[in-house]
Amino acid sequence: MIVAILGTILLHENVDHETGEVTRIGNLPFIFGAILIGTIVGYIAAMRVKMTAMPQMVSMFNGMGGACAALIAMVEMNTHHPQEFGHRFIIFLSLMIGTVSFAGSMVAFGKLEGKIKDYGSKVQQITNNTIVFAILGLIIGVSLIPAWGDFFIWIVFAASLIYGILFVLPIGGADMPVVISLLNSFTGIAAALGGFLYDNQVMLTGGILVGSAGTILTVLMCKAMNRSLWNVISGAFSATGPSSKSMEGMSISEISVTDTAIMCAYAQRIVIVPGYGLAVAQAQHTCHEFEKALEAKGVEVNFAIHPVAGRMPGHMNVLLAEADVPYEKLKEMDEINPQLPNTDVVIVIGANDVVNPAAETDPSSPIYGMPIIKANTAKNIIVMKRSMAKGYAGIENELFYDKKTRMLFGDAKVTLEKLIAELRNV
């Protein structure tokens, strides 16, 4: 990135074909001043952010990329006033995609921070679809008819801003990793359009790489969630309402740290299912120590990774990699599920929606149809949670009331430390 920036600023030349005069990029103090400010702010933000807030930072930074693409489009239109269809079409399309990425990322940031609630209905889905097709129609119209005027860029900007907000508003928290991935691909596409605009192969290639990678990841995550990509784009990727299934009259069973340690010590195979609660407790390193303590007792330990566990794509992979958990121990959902019936103990640490059997048993549930890690098929289940609070999807978890499930309440990090100590005494 540094080489690209310095190369562009210091080596770029504009040659006047009539006079032969060569000019270089000016306003260098302003350019380097902006770079310095951005570097300082970005560095401080990245160093201070907690691992639990990393998804919010990803959303924020991605939104800034979309805003940058939108600003470039505005400046280009108001400075050069292009007349060619292709030139205008790319500018308007870049503005639309960049603005949607910016607005959507800001709403996603608010949702991840818990400051914005889910708002959605079938009417809103129709509204979203109407807005996006209206924007595309307007873009084609103003690109074909330059006489309509450049001021239409502000209409496209305003409509795209509204669509970006409405598009993310109805999407449930459990689906947020897919949305973040999709918005990231939008920013890449906007950058690629900028490459077309300036005939810049580096910008084009970089944008294509980001856009295609984000799109592929989004499609894979949609497949893992048993949803379609169009559901995401149309804003229909959310819960349609709370589950009608009630847990009233059902009871849970608790277990002590000592009994948990004994059960784990004499098990042959254990699978750990990490979730956002593990990140909140910053217990990934302690979890790795727990894994090593179990292996010292001769227990085979693996981690079951759901594609959308956490708050961003690959959240659990990043979390456990930070703690130096061997990559081969991270088993994807499709690989681990067939092994669970022969697993002695499944330990769920801070995961909720990704192990909820309601996804398979309750048609009224918002997560119905979503593939899950089938923890309920294991011989014994231990769920580590602070409380009986609902997951990010806002629904009850049937797994907690399973006869094979034992609840181990407490902070994940503190509880794991106690388990490690107990294991050494078994």
Helix%, strand%, coil% for the chain, nearest 5: 60, 10, 30
Amino acid (one-letter) located at 103: A
The DSSP letter of residue 275 is: -
DSSP reduced 3-state for 381: strand
Q: Are 385 and 355 in contact (CB under 8 A)?
A: no
Helix axes 54-80, 152-168, angle to 10 degrees: 170
Beta 330-332 vs 345-349: how paired, if at all? unpaired
The helix-helix angle for 122-144 and 85-112 (nearest 10°) equals 150
Report the C-alpha gap between 153 and 138 in whole angstroms: 10
175 part of the active site: no
Contact call for residues 55 and 180 (beta carbons, < 8 A): yes
User: Is the separation of the CB atoms in 354 and 246 below 8 Å?
Assistant: no
Rounded to a whole number, what is the distance in angstroms from the first to the last CA of the chain? 53
Q: Which of 118, 199, 259, 353 is catalytic?
A: 353
Give 350's Cβ-side CA count (13 Å radius): 24
Q: Any residues with CB less than 8 A from the CB of 332 and at least 6 apart, and which?
A: 305, 307
Distance CA 293, CA 424 (A): 8
Are 421 and 293 in contact by the 8 Å Cβ rule? The answer is no
φ and ψ of 298, to 5 deg: 85, 15
CA-closest candidate to residue 287, choices 240, 245, 319 = 319
Q: String of b and e for 62-101 (b: at least 16 CB within 10 Å)? A: bbbbbbbbbebbbebbeeeebeeeebbbbbbbbbbbbbbb
**Are residues 178 and 56 in contact, defined by beta-carbon separation less than 8 angstroms?**
no
Burial of 365 (0-12, 13-18, 19+ CB in 10 A): buried
Question: What positions carry a catalytic annotation?
Answer: 353
